[in-house]
Amino acid sequence: MEYDPEHITFRKLAEADLPLMHRWLNTTHVREWYKVLGKNEPALQTVADKYLPRIHGRDPVHCYLVMYDTRPVAYIQSAVIVDAINVTGIDTFIGEVDFLHKGFGVVFIRKFLKEIVFQEPEITSCSVDPEPANKIAIRAYQKAGFRYSHRTWNAGDNVAAYIMTINRESIYPSIAVL
C-alpha cells in the first residue's frame, strides 16, 4: 500500500489519549521493543506517570500522535539530546496493526523530520537508537534515510542500542549554484 504524506498530520499528545497509548503499549508488537518506566506491559497509571509530565510541559520530550486522515495510528516523540550539540533524538512506534509492515513508518518519519525536527534551524542532525535485534525498525529507519553510526549501551533502558543518524541535508538538499 502506498501512503500519501498529505494525509499524515501530527497532533500533540493529550491526556485524553492516554487510554489509547495504554492499549498500544500493551500490544504484542509494541511491548516487545517499547518499555514504559521499565515495564513491557504497563498499567494505565504507569502510562500516565510517564506521559503526563510531557503533556504538561514538565519534561522536555515532545509527544505526538501520528494521524492518517483523522485516525490516530502511531506515536512519535522528539527531544534535544542534552549531551550533543544541535542533535534531536526521536522514538516511534506504530500502534495500529493494520498499518504494520506496509511502508507507513518510512513515510511518516520523513514527514516528521521535515515538518517538526528540522524546522528548528539550530538542529543539524537527528538520531535514533533501536535495539540491534529490532531489524524491522532498523530497516524502516534506513529507508527513511538514517545511517548506522555505532553501537552503545542504553543505560536508561538497560539494553544495547544501534545508533543511526540523519542530517538536515538529507531532508533539505542544498541547491546547487549555477
Task: State the first-to-last Cα distance of the chain, in angstroms, to the nearest integer.
Answer: 39
Handedness of CA 7, 101, 115, 13 (dihedral sign): positive
Q: Is the pLDDT of residue 1 over 90?
A: no
How far is Cα 169 from Cα 82, in angstroms, rounded to an integer?
A: 22
Residue 163 lies in a domain: no
Cell of 64: 505526538
- The set of cell numbers assigned to 129 is 537508537
Average pLDDT over residues 127-149: 96
- 171 lies in some domain: no
Which tens digit of pLDDT belongs to each residue from 3-12?
899 999 999 9
Q: Which domain holds residue 78?
A: 5-123
Say whether pLDDT at 172 is over 50: yes
pLDDT digits (tens, 9 = 90+) for 62-76: 999 999 999 999 999
Residue 174 has pLDDT above 70, yes or no: no
Distances (CA, A) of 88 to 35, 61, 77, 174: 20, 10, 10, 20
pLDDT in the model for residue 85: 83
- Is residue 153 domain-resident? no
* Nearest-angstrom CA–CA distance, 91 and 3: 20
pLDDT tens for 89-137 read: 999 999 999 999 999 999 999 999 999 999 999 999 999 999 999 999 9
Asked whether residue 93 is domain-assigned, the answer is: yes
Q: Burial, 78: exposed, middle or buried (Cβ in 10 Å; 0-12, 13-18, 19+)?
A: buried
Asked if the structure places residue 119 within a domain, the reply is yes
- What is this structure's pTM? 0.93
Per-residue pLDDT of 21-50, as tens digits, reads 999 999 999 999 998 988 889 999 999 999
SS3 154: strand
Residue 175 has what pLDDT? 45
What is the total count of domains within the chain? 1
107 contacts: CB under 8 Å, gap ≥ 6? 3, 5, 8
Kindly state whether residue 44 falls inside one of the protein's structural domains: yes
CATH at 119: 3.40.630.30
With respect to residue 141, please indicate whether it lies within any of the assigned structural domains: no
25 located within any domain: yes
pLDDT value, residue 40: 86
Residues 6+ away with beta carbon under 8 Å from 144: 105, 106, 109, 110, 113, 166
